[in-house]
Structures are given as C-alpha cells and as structure tokens.
Amino acid sequence: MPYFDRLDYVTMLCSEQCYSLAIENLLNIEVPPRAKFIRTLFAELTRVQNHCMAIGTHILDTGAITPFFWLFEEREKMFEFVERVCGARMHANYIRPGGVSQDMPLGLMDDIYDFCLKFPQRIDEVDDAITNNPVWIGRTKDVGVVSAEDAIDLGFSGVMLRGSGIQWDLRKTQPYDAYAEVEFDVPIGKNGDNYDRYLIRMEEMRQSINIIIQCMNKMPAGEVKLDDAKISPPSRAEMKESMEALIHHFKLFTEGYLFVNEF
C-alpha cells in the first residue's frame, strides 16, 4: 500500500482507495458501512488538498503570491487531520482492502466539522481576489484550450475532462464507497481553457465540503474493517495474545490475497 501513496503524493488517499476498491472487487467482498463513509470523507478532504495546491501554485506561477499562502495554510490543517487518523501526514497507508486501518479518534470529527464551516470563507477570499482580476483572466482565459473531442482522444479524466464540457464523474456514473448516499453537483466547463478548469476546481472544493459534512452527519456506528484475518491484518495486541493471529499476519504479508480464477 505505501507504494500507492507515492504514485501521487498530493492525492495519496485516493490512490489507496483505488487499489483497495480493485482488490475488494476481485475478492467480491463488501466493506463495513462506517469504513465506506470514512473513506469518502477522507477522499474528499484529499480532493480539497489537491485543489488547494493546484490553484495556489497556478496563481503563484501567474504572478500573485498571497492566495498561495492562504491555501497552503488551509492545506496544513487538512494534513493535521490525516496525521491524527493514521500517524502520517502524506504517506498515510490508511485505506486498506477491507476498510481502513483504524477508526477516527475522539474529537477529530468535531474539528473537521469546524474546519468545514470556516473553509468556504477562504474560498470566497480567493474568489474575490482572483476570479475577476483582469491580469488573471488575461493569463488564463482562452489559454490552453482543449476541445471535448480532443479531451476524449487524449484520454483526459477528472477536472481536465470536465473542463472541456464532458459531464463525466465516476462518483456519479459509477458510485463507490458512500458516494451513492450523498448529494452533490458536478461543475462542467464550457470553453475548455485554463480559466474554466480553475472555476471547476473552485466549485469542486465547495462541493467537497458539502460531501464531507454529509458523511459526518450520516456516519454509522460499527466496525471499520472486515473481521477476516485473510483480508484485514490482526492488530499488534492480537498478535501478542494469539498464535493464530501471528500466523495470519505472516501469511497475509508474505503470500498476499488468494484470488480464485473464475474465467
């Protein structure tokens, strides 16, 4: 799993989520509901982190510095949330096949909720400073234009694809984890330029905050990983008490998962 944290260090938890979903699909297993909501919450928190870096560095590259510091200050707060849930800021190793490594600690959800109430004000500050700024518009509007046809031919995805006017978001078209349980809008561009992609990222951050709040409001109680030693490794405490747990841990990390070939 740590390899997937390093594929894209800006969106490490989403990389972990993709790998875990693939393994779970191959094993035909269903993770606990609470784990699904925790995954969705942190996937959206990761999306906001990603957009903070993308927008902040883009603005910095075009000649403005203040919004970059605003957004990176918020990004640090989100890294603290990740560190509190798994012990690492960037190489999280948190989302695992079968669920997540551990539950959210007491008080974390309250702090994330408080962050979600305040963060939209920061988005508004960036919006007021940049969106209608003539220098920003001159350096992004009608620049880097990619048509819808070219976007598809080039294999674009995510914001790049939606910026060219293609209404495609896997969270809507093929919902996974808890995305079917939350409501959100998918912003779409018109001109396929850098300015449209900036606007989409700004709106996606607002939508992500909305999703995070819904996840916390709907968060069910229960386990956060499957109670199956062939999928979820036992805890350190269990390994000190049970020889079977120690054997399961050894075999899981040396042999991996057993896939049955049904083809």
**How confident is the model over 5-39, as pLDDT tens digits?**
888 888 999 999 999 999 999 999 999 999 999 99
Query: Could you give the residue range(s) of every CATH 1.10.645.10 domain in the chain?
Result: 2-232
Distance CA 4, CA 196 (A): 30
DSSP 99: E
Specify the CATH architecture of the domain 2-232: Orthogonal Bundle (1.10)
Q: Provide the β-strand partners of residue 99.
A: 96, 225
208-221 pLDDT tens trace: 999 999 999 999 99
Residue 80's closest CA among 52, 47, 108? 108
By the 10 Å C-beta count (0-12 exposed, 13-18 middle, 19+ buried), 263 is classed as exposed
**Helix orientation angle between 12-27 and 33-61, rounded to the nearest 10 degrees:** 150
In the chain, where do the E strands start and end?
A: 95-96, 99-100
Q: What is the pTM of this model?
A: 0.92
Strands 99-100 and 95-96: antiparallel
Q: Report the pLDDT value the prediction gives residue 186, as an integer from 0 to 100.
A: 97
